[in-house]
Each structure stands twice: as C-alpha cells, then as structure tokens.
A and B are shown apart, each in its own frame.
Chain A
Amino acid sequence: MAEKTAPDTGRARGNLPPLELYVPEPRYRPGDVVDYSHLPVPPAGQLGRPDENCPASETWPMTTDMIRVLDEEARAVGPWNPGLDAETLRRMLRTMALTRAFDDRMYRGQRQGKTSFYMKCTGEEAISVAHAHALAHDDMVFPTYRQQGILISRGYPLVEMVNQIYSNRADKLKGRQLPVMYSAKDYGFFSISGNLATQYPQAVGWAMASAIKGDTRIATAFVGEGSSAEGDFHAAMTFAAVYNAPVVLNVVNNQWAISSFSGFAGAERTTFAARAAGYGIAGLRVDGNDALAVYAASRWAADRARANQGPTLIEHFTYRAEGHSTSDDPSAYRSAQEREEWPLGDPIMRLKKHLIALGEWSEAQQEAMDRELVEQVKVATKEAEKNGVLGHGLHHPFHTMFEDVFEELPWHLEEQAAQAIREREIKWPEWKGEGA
C-alpha cells in the first residue's frame, strides 16, 4: 500500500494528517494457519449467577465475559450449572444429533437436485435445542433460518419439514417459500421471513401484546451477529427497553455472515451482548457450543421476562462450521483451519462426553443412536418424496398462487389467475395436476 502519499484533493491541509478509512479484515484467509490464542476463553464455572430479578446493570460485566458450564473434563461446574437430570440431557443430545442428521440428509437432497436450496446449522445445534428446552412449549419463537433445532425440539414432524423443503404438493406453505422458511403456529414458531432482522421488532410487538392481554407467554427472537447491524435491531432493543417487554433477544454470533466476518457488524469494538448496556436491559454472553450454558442463560432470561422484569439480550458465541447455505463456498474466503481449531469444540461431542462422564451414556449408545436417527430421517424423506420433489410437477394447484395475497380475491387477481391457467394449457398441455 502506498504510505501516506496524500492524495491531491486540491484543498490545503496544512499540517493535518490525511484521514484514513479503516476497513476491517479477518485474521485468516484461505490457506492461512489459524491461531486462536487472541481469543479469550475463560474457564467454565467462574462467573457468578445473579438473581433473575436483579437490576439489569448487574449483568453487564457478564456481557464482555462468557458464561460456560462444561469444563475441559466435560464436567458441569459453577453457579450456572442448570442441574438438569440425565433424561433431559439425553433428550437434548438426541435432538441435537437429529438436527445434524436432518441437515446432512437435506444438504445431500439439494445436491441431488431434489430442491433448490438448503441451510445447515452445523456447530450451532446447542443454541436452538437448549434454548427451546428452556422455554415453555407455547412461548412464541421468532427465528431465523438457522433455528431448525427449535422446530425439531418441539416435535414438529420431520416429514412436514421435508415437504416444505421440497415445495411439494403436501407443503403446508403451498410451495410459496424458499426452503427452510418454515411457519408452524401451533408449535410456537413464527413464519421465517428471509429479510433479515425484521422478526426482531415483531417479537417485541408480540411480547407487548402478551403483556397488554395479561397473558403469561413470552416471546423470543433470533438474529445473526451480521444482521444485528440492521435498523430493526435498534428498533427492537429500543421498544423492548421502553415497554419493558417480556422478550428474550438472541444474537447468534457464528463469526460469519456469508463471507463477511463479524468485524463488519462491529465485533472488533465490543461484544454483541455489550449492546444491552446502551439500552439499559439485561445482557448475557454465553458459550454457544455448551448446551448447558445456553440452557442456563436462556432459562434465566425467560424466567426474568415471565416475572415482568423485562427483556434480556443474549449473545451466543459460536462458529458457523459449514457454508452459509448450499449456494455458498466458504473455502473461497476463510481458512478451513478455523473450524478445526475452534476453541469451543463441537456442541454435540461436548454434551456426549458430559453424559459419558456422568456414567449416563456410552460411545456404543451414541453410535446406535446415530444409526437410528439416520434411519428416522430417511423414513421421513421417503415419505415426503411420495408428494414430489421440487420441479417434478407435483405442485399445488395453479390457483393457489393467487390465494392469500388478500383474504378474498379481488377482481384483478381473478383475471390474472385466469391468465395463468390459460398459459398453463399452452405451455403444459399434458398437465394432469389436480384442480385448476
């Protein structure tokens, strides 16, 4: 780079230095040797756990530290240990493993041409699964596209997920949404947008409505660290603070927003959890690959919201182990070593080791479970394929394209529907799809 040769602006600068624009650059690019020694990983069990009803300011020291429960020997230590029984731990482990097995199969399905698009959450399973386990079953979740673990935790049928991913004739969303943009109202899972961070102020509004009605349900919302830069984040934080809304606002800091590292969302200046202090709300920063820590922080925030003590911002510190989506190739912009060297490990392996250390699980059981889950996903996939895969004709009837724009079809949409059906008769005279 040419050093300090001041560009000629035609304007006298006297003895002032030329101003410099700082453009963040990640530490490692493809091929680089990765060294995480700059990344502080505090020992598990060290942080105190304040009462859920504490003043928000008591949590602020925790927003630049990290809540960790599982230590290097896979023991659960310290005041944040949620003390879950072995049955619950095994259920969480199983759900995390099922989420991963589902992701793997759907990723392959996309590569086999059964759908257009898929997004995995590999390495982030603890965040959605442990968070879901810390909520009441009817609390409302406003997710991003990487919280499939919540839907699976709540028992949503896998076959319905696959139907949606294949956009087939059984897809409850009628083939209208990009794959993985689920909607499951009966499972407390809000319609996923695809426009980033819009769900954040919506979750606050839902929580405000719950408070207006004197309900007991709370809302929780997710964004990635990248889209915490959106104005919606500020809108949500302001509204949540102003109305003391019963909401948990989660930031999943997985280090990468497609190819932009977290520095482009401000991570070089402070943590994402630390933003809570500026709004005067509680904030927690948690090891996102530690299912027990995620559970404990989520439960703390949910209990606080339910007790009318207001919102909490939680940063889940993790790593996006795979590409952003099937359309992304991370080897083009980051070092493959990042994943291998990630100091917080793999969330499934850590919980498995913990259960084994407790004497409540074994490698043999893990292997048997994994085989069982692969089979479970396979069965759901085969079942869904009976209803078709994307682009193979088994769609919803043409007329559904025009339905639900409004509650009732106005004349101009009726006319356009007639046009679409006329075109179908020309383009696909052999069409045997059901209905018009």
Chain B
Amino acid sequence: MTEENALSLHDAPTRSMNMIEAINDALDIMMARDPDIVILGEDVGYFGGVFRATAGLQKKYGRNRVFDSPINECGIVGAAVGMAAYGLRPVPEIQFADYIYPGLDQLVSEAARMRYRSAGEFTSPITIRSPFGGGIFGGQTHSQSPEAMFTHVAGLKTVIPATPHDAKGLLIAAIEDNDPVIFFEPKRIYNGPFDGYYDKPSRTWKGHPGSLVPEGYYKIPLGKARIVREGAALTVLSYGTMVHVAEAVLAEKGIDAEIIDLRTLVPLDMATVEKSVEKTGKCLVIHEATRTSGFGAELVTLVQERCFYHLEAPVERVTGFDTPYPHSLEWAYFPGPVRIGEAVDRLMKE
C-alpha cells in the first residue's frame, strides 16, 4: 500500500501516540505478519530496550524472535547479515547511533554490497534501528548524527522520521524493503516535538497532527518527502528534530516558507525539492549533524546543479558545529532559533 492508494488510511481509526509507541506498534504489527522477522540488540529482550521501543515484544513473540545480544555491534550486525542470508528479516537495534561504529565494516563492506557482489544470490534485508541526535544532555557519545556516513555508502538506504505517524509507516516500509536500511530515530522528539527553545517546558505529542497514528498496517514509501507546510517565500529542507525547530522559527518570523521533511535521504525525493525551489527561488538546508561533508553539502550541491537558474539567493545551510557534541555547552552547539534565524534573515534580504 502506498500513499496513492491510502484513501482508506485517512478513514482508519487513529490513536494519539508518541514516537516510541508508534515504533513499538510498527514492530508488533510486522512481527505478527512475518514470522521471519527477528529483533536483536542490547537490552531489547525482557527489558524492552533502554528507550522502551521493543517493550512487550519478547513476551508476545518469544525469546527465539526477540532477544538480548552481547555488547558487540560488529557481532550484532554481522549476525544479522548471516541471518538475512539464511532468509530471515532481522531488525537489530543499535542502542545509540554513537555506538554503531564497531559494526561499520559489517554494514559498509558486507550488508551494503551483498546483493551487488553476489549478483543477487544473497541479499541483506536488514533494518538497523538506532536513536540518534542530541538535545538530551547526552554528551559526545549519546548525541551524534552520523547519517552522512551512511548516505555516502552505495547500497544503503537512510531513513529518518520526524513524527510518530511517519515513524510507523516508514519503519514498516523499511522492514519490508529488500535492501539494508539505516533507520535513525531522533531521540529528542521521541516524547514530543521540539521547537528549539531548550529553556521552555517540553511538550508531549498530544495534540500534534503528526501524533495521530492510524491503527493497523500502513506504509509510507521510502524516497518520498513530506511537505510539512506549503509556502512561496523560501524552501526549507530538513529532517528529524530540525523539521520542528524550522517550523517554529519560520512561524515566529511570519515567513511564508515551504518546509519539506525529506524523510528518506537515500533514495532522495529530489523531484519534490526541485519543484519547491523552482517555485520559491530560495533554499535553506538545516541539519543537526556536523557541517563539513554533512548531508547538507549534498543537498546544496543538488539544488545548485538542478535549480541554479531559479535561485534568487545563495543556498544557505545551518548545521551543528564541526566539534564533538559538547555536554555543558549543548545549547551553544545546537543549530537552534538564533542560527536558523540569521540564515533566514540573510536569505530574505536578497
């Protein structure tokens, strides 16, 4: 099922969920539908994961399908590659994206190239779920946004949801996808959207339109961006937590911006991006990850290559700084309303 034939989706009864509940719901639905799905990872079994994403699943589906793993990401990903070669559809959890690096060789050299190097004899239909991003006082080992390391690899898909509704539909699509998918969950917005004002009380998802999650099975196709808000003055390209920050800043400034949540970085929905930039003539790229060789560099280049004659101003990018993610100075690092606001002002002056 795709969005095109999702008419019934709009009629499906919905429930207000936070992002963890939506992810748990997606995993539950898929495990019930497909006996080949297994979940492994640190603390995912009896305990249900440090963020509770797999809560209740071991009890429901048994220890053979949901189980704790040794603290060894190379082993988690490597075993998943072997399980997938057997014919299973593993959905491993890497507890924090910051911990994924010991598994990198198994992802980059093995899972990503299995279909190619074996000419389709073996495939790696694996979805790696991993919380990523900062804004939770996680310090430099619980806050990173390493998505560009994965978008750089031929053969990996990279997906990042920004709402509970999207998290469920994208995760189901990722699990059903026959290629390896890196599914980064922005942990700052697990429990509620975030407008970038760290000093204001945090909100829950209750009442946010993105928290209305249809019951049952539905998919959001990978490679399809979401237009969060239509507008004519400026195109904003973002994903994950920063979608919400951008939305708040531009609303506050009263700018009629078109805000695009990319949802999937590879494959990228460039058609939606081009259409928007051709309309607005201005483009702002925002991500939380470090700046140099970040995914923003790719976005800026693509917009420049494909929309140059429509541009009325240089494309701007707002990112985290090229430092490790600091602990005490987290909010100085975070690309919040001030940094975004300055870039918007520069763009709107042109």
Contacts and interface: CB of A to CB of B under 8 A. Distances in A.
B29 interface: no
A417 to B, nearest CB: 13
Given A185-B122, A198-B106, A407-B178, A235 B117 contact: no
Interface string A388-432: 000000000000000011110011100000000000000000000
A193 interface: yes
8 contacts: A198-B109, A202-B82, A205-B85, A208-B83, A232-B105, A404-B120, A405-B115, A407-B123
A204 B82 contact: yes
B105 A219 contact: no
B75 A183 contact: no
Interface in A187-241: 190-191, 193, 195, 198, 200-210, 212-213, 219, 231-232, 234-236, 238-239
A404 B116 contact: yes
A207 B83 CA distance: 8
A381 B64 CA distance: 47
B179 A206 contact: no
A380 to B, nearest CB: 20
A248 to B, nearest CB: 14
Contacts of A242: 70
Given A242-B70, A406-B155, A176 B117 contact: yes
Contact of B110 (A184, A202, A236, A406): A202
Interface string B115-128: 11111111100000
B88 A209 contact: yes
Interface of A: 140, 142, 172-174, 176-177, 181, 183-185, 190-191, 193, 195, 198, 200-210, 212-213, 219, 231-232, 234-236, 238-239, 242, 404-407, 410-412
A70 B349 CA distance: 87
B122 A191 contact: yes
A78 B88 CA distance: 43
A213 B62 CA distance: 13
A212 B267 CA distance: 33
B118 A191 contact: yes
Contacts of B270: 411-412
B78 to A, nearest CB: 3
Contacts, number: 144
B119 A405 contact: no
Contact of B119 (A140, A176, A200): A176
B122 A200 contact: no
Contacts of A208: 79, 82-83
A219 B75 contact: no
Contact of A412 (B64, B106, B267): B267
Interface of B: 38, 64-65, 69-70, 72, 74-75, 78-88, 90, 102, 105-106, 109-110, 114-123, 154-155, 157, 177-179, 223, 266-268, 270-271
B124 to A, nearest CB: 10
Given A181-B117, A201-B78, A202-B79, 11 more contacts: A172-B119, A177-B117, A204-B78, A205-B83, A212-B64, A212-B65, A219-B82, A232-B78, A238-B75, A242-B70, A411-B271
B75 A176 contact: no
B35 to A, nearest CB: 9
A239 B117 contact: no
Given A193-B110, A195-B109, A406-B155, A174 B82 contact: no
B117 A190 contact: no
Contact of B268 (A142, A181, A201, A412): A412
B86 A210 contact: yes
B114 A200 contact: no
With a 10 A CB-CB cut-off, give which of A181, A190, A201, A411 has the most chain B CB atoms: A201
Contact of B75 (A209, A239, A406): A239
Contacts of B70: 235, 238-239, 242
Contacts of A190: 85, 122
Contacts of A212: 38, 64-65, 83, 88
A204 B122 contact: no
Of A234, A242, A406, chain B has the most CB atoms within 10 Å of the CB of A406
Contacts of A193: 109-110, 117
A183 B65 contact: no
Contacts of B82: 142, 201-209, 219
Contacts of A198: 78, 105-106, 109-110
A150 to B, nearest CB: 16
Given A174-B119, A177-B117, A202 B268 contact: no
Contacts of B122: 183, 185, 190-191
Given A198-B109, A406-B157, A191 B121 contact: yes
Contacts of B79: 201-202, 204-205, 208, 239
A205 B122 CA distance: 14
B41 to A, nearest CB: 13
Nearest to A217: B86
A177 B118 CA distance: 8
Nearest to B38: A212
B78 A200 contact: yes
Contacts of A238: 70, 72, 75
B83 A206 contact: yes
Contact of A410 (B69, B121, B223): B223
Contacts of B177: 407
A236 B85 contact: no
A205 B81 contact: yes
A406 B72 CA distance: 27
Q: Which of B70, B78, B115, B122 has the most CB of A within 10 A?
A: B78
Nearest to A203: B82
Given A195-B105, A195-B109, A212-B38, A201 B155 contact: no
Nearest to B102: A231
Contacts of B120: 404
B335 to A, nearest CB: 27
A342 B79 CA distance: 37
A232 B104 CA distance: 12
A345 B82 CA distance: 36
A190 to B, nearest CB: 7
B74 A231 contact: yes
B190 to A, nearest CB: 29
Contact of A407 (B115, B121, B154): B115
Contacts of A406: 115, 155, 157, 179, 267
Nearest to B156: A406
A350 B24 CA distance: 60
Contacts of B179: 406-407
B83 A209 contact: yes
A202 B155 contact: no
The 4 closest A-B pairs by CB, nearest first: A205-B82, A201-B78, A205-B79, A235-B75
A406 B177 CA distance: 10
B10 to A, nearest CB: 27
A142 B155 CA distance: 22
A406 to B, nearest CB: 5
A275 to B, nearest CB: 16
A197 B123 CA distance: 19
